[in-house]
Amino acid sequence: MDFNAHMRNTAYLDKSADARLTSTAGWFDLRQRKLTVPPPNLAEPLRALDHTDDFQVLPNSAR
């Protein structure tokens, strides 16, 4: 599992969804200048986070 992600945030005002923002993110190694997996002390807590019902594992982006 790499750590590319789509994150969705929804802002509510008066009980209705007023704004929805979808972001794409990844863990970037500045020395190698490519996407990579975060160090184990950060990767494990990320894997342990709760997921929404529509959670998906994205395809590996390694070439």
pLDDT digits (tens, 9 = 90+) for 2-52: 567 778 888 898 888 789 888 888 888 899 998 888 888 988 888 888 888
pLDDT for res 61: 64
Distance CA 15, CA 4 (A): 31
Residue 20: CB partners within 8 Å, gap ≥ 6?
Answer: 8, 9, 10, 11
Instruction: Indicate whether 63 pLDDT > 60.
Output: no
